[in-house]
Amino acid sequence: MTVTPPQQLPHLTDAESFRTFRSRPSRWLPIALDIARGHGLNAGSPQVFATGTNLVVGLGDKLILKIFPPLLRAQFVSERASLTQLAGRLHLPIPEIAAEGERDGWPYLVITRLAGTLGSEVWPSLPEHQKERLLRQIGEVIASVQRVPLGELAHIEPRWDAFVRAQMQACRARHTRLGLAPKFLAGFDDLLRDATKLIPMDEPPVILIGEYIPENFLLACDDGQWSLKGLFDFGDVIAGWRDYDLLGPSAFMAAGRPGRVRSLLEGFGYAELDFELKRRLMALMLLHRASDLNAHICIEGWQDKANDLIELQELIWPG
């Protein structure tokens, strides 16, 4: 790739203009490498990561540089505070902050690069017993993260009660726009009414990563057994009710399989899956900040297997 001398990072006012800028590495890679050199880091053989939200480039096999546009400064604040608070408190490796700074109003982090294979590359081909094993480990990791004190994350925005109320107000419009079938939209009023009683607003909050999904895990195989070996991407962390972090693995990985669901919940610490828990999880799934049921529920033909939200929650969380 031919690159030009470093220029200034631009002032971008909306997400679409940033996506366009990010899609053309020749415009920002020279600046990223200049940042790396400014910290005395090896800028040779950079690896541009095309996926993800921010500008991300690998610096050799040890470090990663993440540059956040000003309009996503909240993600920088979340990632920096999360990595700082979780450092040394988990049995699972997470990135460490090697350097940080700001360039032209764009904050950045240099973090260590974790070893392992990206979960999304491995998960589809794993046998069922390995998937159940990993989901149990994921449940255990979620619980261990939530045992860590909040620290500076106690002040992260949005606050849980404000977040849930805002999501409830926009919920129907969001899912209508995303094309959710009318038979499911018909149950929204009942579910949202139940949600006000089922979703705790005043309980002590815990750290919520928000995206325990295969794209954010690293795995490794030892003697034929796959295990979690790393967790990354903390840009969407908030503090709130613990069940919220069960939604990613429920939608993307458990796929309505009773053994997988049971493994996830038991690893998390839930011995029983009753109607109230299913109802709360269904409500939270609709309220999740990235919620898009048509794109995220990995149960083949689920739209035809359930006639309403109650049948859908039984399909996603059987048992």
pLDDT at 301: 96
Examine the domain organization and report whether 100 and 154 are in the same domain: no
pLDDT class for 51, splitting at 50, 70, 90?
confident
| Domain identity same for 267 and 190 | yes
Give residue 50's pLDDT band: very low, low, confident or very high (50, 70, 90).
confident
The alpha carbon torsion through 214, 67, 59, 118 (nearest 10 deg) reads 0
The verdict on 26 and 149 lying in the same domain is no
Residues 182 and 56 in one domain: no
Residue 164: which pLDDT band, with cuts at 50, 70 and 90?
very high
pLDDT confidence of residue 52: 80
Is 8 inside any structural domain? no
Across the chain, the runs of DSSP E, i.e. the strands, are 46-48, 55-59, 63-67, 97-103, 106-112, 117-118, 206-208, 217-222, 225-231, 238-240
Q: Is the pLDDT of residue 2 over 70?
A: no
For residue 1, being part of any structural domain is answered with: no
Domain match, 150 and 269 both: yes
Residue 281 has pLDDT above 70, yes or no: yes
Q: What is the average per-residue pLDDT within 282-290?
A: 96
Beta carbons within 10 angstroms of residue 23's beta carbon: 9
Same domain, 34 and 65: yes
Strands 117-118 and 217-222: antiparallel
Q: Which of 112, 143, 171 is the last residue of a domain?
A: 112
Q: What is the pTM for the complete model shown?
A: 0.93
Residue 256 has pLDDT above 80, yes or no: yes
| pLDDT value at residue 1 | 53
Q: How many residues does the chain have?
A: 319
Is position 243 within any domain? yes
| Mean pLDDT, the chain, whole residue set | 95
Q: Is the pLDDT of residue 277 over 90?
A: yes
Establish if 126 belongs to a structural domain: yes
Clarify whether residues 30 and 153 are in a common domain.
no
Model confidence over 12-30: pLDDT tens digits?
A: 989 999 999 999 999 999 9
Q: What is the CATH number of the domain that holds 131?
A: 3.90.1200.10
Instruction: Give the structural domain span for 23.
Output: 15-112
CATH at residue 40? 3.30.200.20
- Per-residue pLDDT at 4: 54
Half-sphere exposure in the Cβ direction for 227 (13 Å, CA):
10
- The string of pLDDT tens digits covering residues 114-150 is 999 999 999 999 999 999 999 999 999 999 999 999 9
Same domain, 234 and 260: yes
Domain boundary, last residue among 48, 80, 112: 112
Is residue 10 in a domain? no
Does 3 have pLDDT greater than 90? Answer: no
With 90 as the cut, is the pLDDT of residue 105 above it? yes
Asked if residue 58 has pLDDT above 60, the reply is yes
Residues near 13 by Cβ (< 8 Å), separated by ≥ 6?
71
Residue 236 is assigned to a structural domain of this protein: yes
**Residue 5 located in a structural domain:** no
Together in a domain, 106 and 125: no
| Whether residue 292 has pLDDT greater than 60 | yes
Q: Are residue 183 and residue 126 in the same domain, yes or no?
A: yes
d(CA 160, CA 225): 38
Question: Does the residue 149 lie in any domain?
Answer: yes
* End position of a domain, from candidates 91, 112, 133: 112
Same domain, 144 and 87: no
- Same domain for 172 and 107, yes or no, is no
* Number of folded domains that form the chain: 2
Residue 286: C-alpha distances to residues 185, 207, 273 (Å):
11, 20, 19
